Amino acid sequence: MPFLTLSDGNSLFYKDWGNITGPPVVFSHGWPLQSDAWDNQMFFLGQNGYRTIAHDRRGHGRSSQPWTGNDMDTYADDLQQLFVHLGLTNATMVGHSTGGGEVVRYLGRHGTSRVDKAVLVGAIPPSLGAIPSNPDGVPLAVYKQQQQDFIDNRAQQAVDTANGPFFGFDRPDHNRSEGLVEQYVQQVLQGGFVNQYECLTALFLTDFTEDLKKMDIPTLLIHGDDDQLAPIDSTARKAAQILPNPTLNVYPGGDHGLPATHLHQVNQDLLDFIRGTGEGGGEGEDCPSTW
């Protein structure tokens, strides 16, 4: 399994699949998961001639579990080291949830010289929490409760999240998948405790507004209008108003875990956008749900 030794001595696990000479697509996963959450998209795009790359964020999955550096700036700098290590250029970056924040911070911090396009799926920018720049965000009392639940029983929090709002299994029209629940919990429990705990602060309280303004590349936002964890009105719809060149693709009834629950639709939307057949500006027509 490939690992990159970072400048601070920590190890970053990554996958490098598909056509090694094909256009690169770089995936960033959500909290508190790992790169395996993107396997279906990586396989699909790999079959279509692309080079697909995904890493386990520091402190998550198989990467090192350092006591420090669990913040968006460091996540972005780790990703830049991976770009340099693999010599990636003309890439498409894809981020889900917290990974969407990682993509936006990377582009705000390191620029777009290596990146042609970006895709944000159920992503947290401009901010998830109700901070001064986005007072309509998720109340900070929810953040505090998430922290406490994590400390009290991380495993039970993972079970409850997977059975409830992450995949929308608490909605009557969503058919629960035991496999998705088990996969989610397994990924959570492989990560570092302190790393996931501190990542909660990063994902709730980071302001990505200025990063979004610097993204001078076509950006596709894919978001469910029933996303209970990153509500669309305070995330994707606001981000689309800030981004220079956005397309907002809304999935009616869509939940937070779209890469799993709507995988075929997400796969096709990614392929169309990367190929250049799904670009545009502003908010597009709502997509029919595959659920």
Query: With bands split at pLDDT 50, 70 and 90, how would you rate the model's confidence at 173?
Result: confident
d(CA 130, CA 277): 35
- 59 φ, ψ (degrees, to nearest 5): 85, 0
Catalytic annotation on 223? no
CB 33 within 8 A of CB 5: no
Catalytic annotation on 96? no
Q: What is the mean pLDDT of the chain?
A: 95
- pLDDT for 90 equals 98
**Percent residues over pLDDT 70 in the chain:** 95
Q: For the residues 68-80, what does the mean pLDDT come to?
A: 98
Out of 36, 56, 211, 227, which one is annotated catalytic?
227
Query: With bands split at pLDDT 50, 70 and 90, how would you rate the model's confidence at 281?
Result: very low
Out of 28, 64, 97, 127, which one is annotated catalytic?
97
Helices 98-110/193-205 angle, 10° precision: 70
Query: Any idea what the Cα angle at residue 5 is, between residues 33 and 207, rounded to 5°?
Result: 50
d(CA 185, CA 88): 32
d(CA 240, CA 231): 14
CATH of domain 11-278: 3.40.50.1820
d(CA 151, CA 145): 10
Q: What is the value of pTM for the model shown?
A: 0.95
Catalytic annotation on 63? no
Total number of residues shown for the chain: 291
Query: With bands split at pLDDT 50, 70 and 90, how would you rate the model's confidence at 277?
Result: confident
Residue from 73, 84, 72 nearest 14 by CA: 84
Residue from 119, 101, 122 nearest 25 by CA: 119
Tokens 């956005």 label which residue? 246
Tokens 């937070």 label which residue? 256
CB 259 within 8 A of CB 121: yes
Answer whether residue 278 shows pLDDT above 70: no
Query: With bands split at pLDDT 50, 70 and 90, how would you rate the model's confidence at 287?
Result: very low
Query: Which conformational region is residue 168 in: left (phi greater than 0), alpha (psi within -120 to 50 degrees), or beta?
Result: left
Mind listing the pLDDT tens digit for each residue in 214-267?
Answer: 999 999 999 999 999 999 999 999 999 999 999 999 999 999 999 999 999 999
Out of 55, 96, 256, 262, which one is annotated catalytic?
256
- pLDDT for 174 equals 86
